[in-house]
């Protein structure tokens, strides 16, 4: 499902060159749940970003669902991401001046679906993430937990095969973190592939986790 072959990623500035990832190779099967763990700056987010097609590797190949996403041109990679991948960001990256409903509907806008289908999908994910009661509220007025549920709903609305979550519980308390884990478990049961970058120890002993990959300074330790 997801294959990284000898992937390197470096960021260059005028002053220095930073090797974010060094020769990373990994293989994730469809429906698996993979935890990427490591300290800040270890390269977890960079791996997720490459898999989501949000950036391109400096060298190496990223293949997702049989497509070499690292070689796809911009409109095709956007289309691929829209159809296959849902992203939950650490800081949620919601548009604060849009309502819950409008934020969730954002990935569907380029699809140009009929109004009924669009409405149905948004309603379903709002129901699933228990955020229907706030559908008209502006995102800037939501609590941290509510914002996260909107971010999850937004990641699910295009019915993706892969969910990518970057430090999803970093800003949540223990109760909300547990709720998130339950949601992830439900998604795994429904066959969605999960990639979660975290340094939250709650994730490390979960029974539904298939792989745990540890990173340090851009290198895979395990």
Partner 1 sequence: MKFNLYLLEFALFSLIRKGAKTLFVFLILTFLIFLLASVLFISDAIKHELNVSVAHLPELTLQRLQAGKQVNVPLKRVEPLLEIEGVASVIPRVWGYYYFKVAGVNFSVVGIDAFEQSYKESLQKVVDAYDVKALEKESGMIVGAGVKKILEENYYQDFFNFVTADGKWKRMHIMGSFNADISLQANDMILLPKKSAYEIFGMPENEATDVVVKVSNPEEIPTIVSKINQLYPDMRVVTKEDIRVSYQNIFDYKSGFFLSLFVVSAFTFFMIIYDKLSGLSSEEKREIGILKALGWSMDDILKERFYESFILCFGAFLLALALSMAYVFFWEAPLLRSLFVGYSTLKPSFELPFYFNMPMIVLLFLLSVPVYIGSVMIPSWRAAMLDADEVLR
Question: Contact 130/182 with Cβ under 8 angstroms?
Answer: no
82 binds partner 1 (CB under 8 A): yes
Interaction between residue 52 and partner 1 (CB under 8 A): yes
Q: Which residues of 6-27 are buried (b: 16+ CB within 10 A; e: fewer)?
A: ebebeeeeeeeeeebbbebebe
Near partner 1 by CB under 8 A, which window of 97-105, 119-127, 128-136, 181-189? 97-105
13 near partner 1, rule: CB under 8 A: no
Output the smallest distance, CB 23 to partner 1, in A: 20
Q: Which residue stretch of 62-70, 92-100, 120-128, 182-190 sits at the interface with partner 1 (rule: CB under 8 A)? A: 92-100
Q: Given candidates 102, 123, 210, 214, which one binds partner 1 under the rule CB under 8 A?
A: 102
Give, in degrees to the nearest 5, the angle at Cα 40 between 39 and 43: 90
Q: Which long-range contacts (CB under 8 A, 24 or more apart) does 77-81 make?
A: 77/53, 78/53, 78/110, 80/53, 81/52, 81/53, 81/54
Name which of residues 106 to 165 contact partner 1 (CB under 8 A).
106-110, 112, 118, 154, 158
CB of 204 to partner 1, least distance (A): 26
Task: Work out whether 93 is an interface residue with partner 1 (CB under 8 A).
Answer: yes
Q: Give the list of residues 6+ apart from residue 125 with CB closer than 8 angstroms, or none.
A: 104, 153, 154, 156, 157
Residue 25 Cα to chain centre, angstroms: 19
Q: Figure out which of the listed residues 3, 8, 10, 54 binds partner 1, where binding follows CB under 8 A.
A: 54
Q: State the minimum distance, in angstroms, from the CB of residue 112 to partner 1.
A: 5
Instruction: Give least dist CB 175 to partner 1, A.
Output: 28
Q: Which residues bind partner 1 (CB under 8 A)?
A: 49, 52, 54-56, 74-75, 78-79, 81-83, 85, 87, 89, 93-95, 97-98, 102, 106-110, 112, 118, 154, 158
């Amino acid at each position: 499902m997801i294959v990284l072959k000898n992937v390197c990623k470096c960021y260059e500035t005028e002053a220095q060159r930073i090797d974010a990832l060094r020769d990373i190779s990994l293989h994730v099967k469809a429906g698996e749940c993979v935890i990427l763990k490591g300290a800040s700056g270890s390269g977890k987010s960079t791996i997720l970003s490459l898999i989501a097609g949000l950036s391109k590797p400096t060298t190496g190949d990223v293949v997702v669902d049989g497509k070499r996403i690292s070689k796809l041109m911009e409109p095709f990679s956007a289309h691929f991401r829209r159809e296959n991948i849902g992203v939950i960001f650490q800081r949620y990256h919601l548009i604060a001046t849009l309502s819950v409903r409008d934020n969730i509907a954002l990935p569907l806008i380029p699809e140009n679906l009929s109004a009924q289908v669009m409405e149905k999908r948004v309603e379903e994910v709002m129901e699933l993430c228990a955020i229907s009661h706030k559908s008209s509220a502006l995102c800037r007025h939501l609590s941290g937990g509510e914002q996260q549920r909107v971010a999850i709903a937004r990641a699910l609305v295009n019915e993706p095969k892969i969910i990518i979550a970057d430090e999803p519980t970093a800003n949540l308390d223990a109760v909300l973190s547990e709720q998130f884990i339950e949601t992830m478990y439900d998604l795994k049961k429904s066959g969605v592939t999960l990639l979660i970058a975290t340094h939250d120890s709650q994730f490390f002993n979960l029974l539904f986790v298939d792989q745990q990959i540890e990173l340090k300074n851009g290198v895979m330790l395990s």
